[in-house]
Amino acid sequence: MKPVNVTLQLGNQAPLTPPESDFYYVDQGNYQTFALADTPLTAYSDSATSCIITTVFCASPSGNTLIVAHLDSPACIEAFFALPQLSAASSLQVFAQGANPPDNSTAKANAAQLQACIDQLGSRVSNHELILLQGDPREQNRGEFGVHYAGDGSACVSNQPYSLALYQRDPTCGGQTVYCIMRRQEQPPVQLRDAGQPFSHPELVELASIALAFRKDPQDPASAFCNIVNLQDAEIRANWSTTPAYEAPWFSDQLKLGATFALAMAPVVTLSAQHLLSHTPPSFTRLRQALLSPSSASAQEAP
């Protein structure tokens, strides 16, 4: 199949209202895959400082696909380029923006890893444009990146920003935010997840359980993740960002949403600790055993 005809447009445009349908937001630590046919779509991510928003068009005999990812560490970038969707493609077009500010050590490490992964793909990469280490991520729409696919075999990659509410960035009301912060505390650590798949109940319970217990300094209760609900914007940025001077305006509100989600999940975590354990009989089994036990029967027969 003929590869997608991709153009790149960069500017300093004002934010737009997102399309009412076929608009997909991909948050940090996630990727999403789209089969490209005759239906237009827009896939987008933002808030990138040292992170890199990466879009890859994959061409194969079975069709064209698009993968959009928000990658935040060298290990995360490696995990992305190891995805089977990329391995199966006969040719790839890679477009990416982020890794800012240019003097930040994490930004430089991410940029180097992305370039190394692309180099390893060799001639399979037919086209690539990397807009990395450019400057202040709050300027010139350097923290935003996405794709509009027209549905006719052509696509435009751009840094056009969109005005989004918190619920549009995190439809789980905080679960995605907890995942983003806590996923490397899981065992084994999680580098990347498919945003096209919903979180399962056990996943959210595990993440909330980790978040409820997590302290950056085990000896300091004030460093607890859930204490974010008590902090002001500047304190949250200073304590929970590697680029505190450059974060998006909604950064602190999104972390507060995650901390609030974890606190709200506390009763669910407690109950699930019983019901999700394989050696704990289900509630109705235990109730039935209690009702049918000899002592219960004797009590019922007593005058």
Give mean pLDDT, residues 41-67: 96
Whether residue 176 sits in one domain with residue 156: no
**Domain range enclosing 125:** 5-164
pLDDT given for residue 193 in this prediction? 96
Q: How many domains are contained in the chain?
A: 2
228 occurs within a structural domain: yes
Closest CA to 112 of 89, 127, 96, 124: 96
Of 138, 164, 190, the residue that ends a domain is 164
288 occurs within a structural domain: no
Phi, then psi, of 70 in degrees rounded to 5: -115, 105
294 occurs within a structural domain: no
Confidence band, pLDDT 50/70/90 cuts, at residue 273: confident
Q: Who's near 27: CB < 8 A, 6+ residues apart?
A: 45, 70, 169, 170, 176, 180, 195
User: In this structure, what CATH number is given to the domain that contains residue 44?
Assistant: 3.30.1330.200
* Residue at 229: amino acid letter: V
Confidence band, pLDDT 50/70/90 cuts, at residue 71: very high
70 occurs within a structural domain: yes
pLDDT given for residue 300 in this prediction? 46
pLDDT given for residue 292 in this prediction? 58
Give 209-240 pLDDT, tens digit per residue.
999 999 999 999 999 999 999 999 999 999 99
Confidence band, pLDDT 50/70/90 cuts, at residue 296: very low
Give 26-52 pLDDT, tens digit per residue.
999 999 999 999 999 999 999 999 999
Count Cα atoms within 13 angstroms, Cβ side, for 289. 6
R_g (Cα) of the chain, nearest Å = 23
